[in-house]
Amino acid sequence: MDTIKALLQPQDCALLLVDFQAGLAFGVESSARQVIVQNAIALARTATTFGTPIVVSTSASRVYSGPLFPSLQAVLPGVHPIERRNMNCWEDDHVREAVLATKRQRLLVSGLLTEACVSFPVLSALEAGLEVFVVADACGGLTPDGHQLALRRMEAAGAHMTSWLQVLLEFQRDWTRHETYEGARSIVESNGGGYGMGLTYASEMLQPAQSPIPAAVPPA
């Protein structure tokens, strides 16, 4: 297999974010809700940094689920959520057409809840011929078992499992890529745990040392 094509590249991908809304997050028990939201924010910032198109969809925002998380909307200032009624956003004409309009054959997906509003469009997009990558640590399920079973079903259907940090590292690939270095470094430092702490440390330690001793004043 061609190694370059096996790895994700930003120019080949689009990102679909589904139902990051408080009313749905209340039911998430697969892992810590705040961690999932922070991972989704890191993923959204990654797509923005690398110029990857982003499609956002929400459901029942006025009757139950509430708006898109403000913290997520804050990193997507030019992106407006597409409201829908169907659990499967792929069956909503506006969402599906927005994804297809990107003309990207690789689709990254994350959202709430894994058992329904994530797995349904993933299975449908696979059936439509797209290559789909589920950013599993930026998805939340009703229960740990339900989350894992949904991931297994999507994987069995042909979806690839990944994480937000792996997406970022595959996109960046080389820390000497200056055009995206600052953006990628900032995301890792903010959301990358111990790896982010190490990156911050390395960045500080590799700065040119400045001597605290002033230069000698030449004699008059």
- What pLDDT digit, counting tens, does each position of 101-151 carry? 999 999 999 999 999 999 999 999 999 999 999 999 999 999 999 999 999
d(CA 9, CA 184): 14
Strand ordering across the sheet containing 54-59: 82-84, 54-59, 13-18, 106-111, 131-135, 160-162
Using 50, 70 and 90 to split pLDDT, how confident is the model at 199?
Answer: confident
User: Do the Cβ atoms of 152 and 119 come closer than 8 Å?
Assistant: no
Name the band, by pLDDT with cuts 50, 70 and 90, for residue 197.
confident
How confident is the prediction for the chain on average, in pLDDT?
A: 91
d(CA 21, CA 69): 6
Give the Å distances, CA to CA, from 176 to 50, 69, 185: 15, 34, 11
Report the predicted TM-score, pTM, of the whole model to 2 decimal places. 0.90
User: Domain 17-192 class?
Assistant: alpha beta
Q: Say whether 117 is catalytic.
A: yes
Whether the pLDDT of residue 94 is over 90: the answer is yes
- The C-alpha angle 13, 15, 55, rounded to 5 degrees, equals 125
pLDDT of 193? 82
**Catalytic option among 13, 89, 117, 139:** 117
Tell me whether the omega of the peptide bond preceding residue 130 falls within 30 degrees of 0, making it cis.
no
- Inform me whether the pLDDT recorded for 208 exceeds 60: no
- Residue pair 89/18 in contact (Cβ under 8 Å)? The answer is yes
For the chain, the distance separating the N- and C-terminal CA atoms, rounded to the nearest angstrom, is 72
Confidence class for position 194, pLDDT limits 50, 70, 90 = confident
pLDDT for res 220: 40
Q: Which of 102, 112, 107 is CA-nearest to residue 79? A: 102
Closest CA to 82 of 94, 67, 96: 94
pLDDT for the residue numbered 204: 76
